[in-house]
Amino acid sequence: MTALAIRHAVRGRLTAAAPLAPLIWFKAGGRAETLFEPADTDDLAQFLADDPSVPVMSLGLGSNLIVRDGGVSGVTVRLGKTFAGVLFDGDRIIAGAGAPGIAVASAARDAGLAGLEFLRGIPGTVGGAVRMNAGAYGREVADCLIAATVVRRDGSVVVLTAAEIGFAYRHCGLPRDAVVVEATFRTTPGERAVIAAEMDRIATEREASQPLRSRTGGSTFANPPGHKAWALIDAAGCRGLGRGGAQVSEKHTNFLINTGDATSADLEGLGDEVRARVLAHSGVELRWEIVRVGAA
């Protein structure tokens, strides 16, 4: 267990041994040693500066995450409603890191601003989208992010441009213990009806092709260069493959689902088995897109 050295009065909420499974889309996994829900950016910065030796992990909506059954040591930071605002500055949208992607896309639509429709198809928060360089339907965060406000592990608050963040495919160069608190996106004026139609198309396509009503974690593996992960998985005979309470989705093979009583060990073990089968069948090594954290 980690002993927190807190010198400043915390205005947010601190919870010891907090269950994380209810906060994760898979509904599986262990506890956070300490869950911190800061009141605002200053509260977060002061808290992080108090004891830089304690491990820190950010948690958004838990839509692309496996928390291992042994739980997460140190501090898990979860940003609440204070960090979920969406503001406008001309053609720029300034969104709190706790805002769901769909909320940002909808706000842009209502303001007649185009370019963020793809966020309708990404389950998660703005902070998670920045950290993962999330993308879908031909666009990704790196295409439209101007800058992000980040609280570093030492408590310093910095504004980093997209170039400084260092984006790659489903990846960014931020340290794991840095916390994104705000992002500024570039948009262009557009017709509301056209923007709305594109968002509706994305929603319909997702509903038809993905197991959205299951306990899942989104795309499990990144697409290797020149390949689609789902096709490699399907060709390796993994559709419907199971382990314990975990299963490869019959509807979309790049999704794992918790059929009801899966442990995180079931989910991660199944994912590793899929990787091994794909490697043996096609010679292609799949890279996890889902983030896996904590102790087994």
- Residues marked as catalytic: 170, 219, 289
160 φ/ψ angles, rounded to the nearest 5 degrees: -115, 135
For 68, residues 6+ apart whose C-beta sits below 8 A from its C-beta are: 29, 30, 264, 265, 268, 292, 293, 294, 295, 296
Q: How far apart are the C-alpha atoms of 248 and 256, rounded to whole Å?
A: 5
**Tokens 């608190």 sit on residue:** 181
Q: Is 3 helix (H, G, I), strand (E, B) or coil?
A: coil
Whether the CA torsion 129, 191, 81, 160 is positive or negative: it is: positive
Q: How far apart are the C-alpha atoms of 144 and 79, rounded to whole Å?
A: 23
Q: How far apart are the C-alpha atoms of 166 and 131, rounded to whole Å?
A: 10
Q: Kindly report the three-state secondary structure assignment for every residue of 215-231.
A: EECCCCEECCCCCCHHH
Rounded (5°) CA angle 289-2-175: 35
Distances (CA, A) of 213 to 72, 156, 251, 258: 27, 40, 11, 11
Q: Which residues pair with 176 in a beta bridge?
A: none
Identify the CA nearest to 295 among candidates 33, 27, 15, 26.
33
What is the Cα gyration radius of the chain? Answer: 19
Q: Which residues pair with 135 in a beta bridge?
A: 140
The bridge status of strand 139-140 relative to strand 65-67 is: unpaired
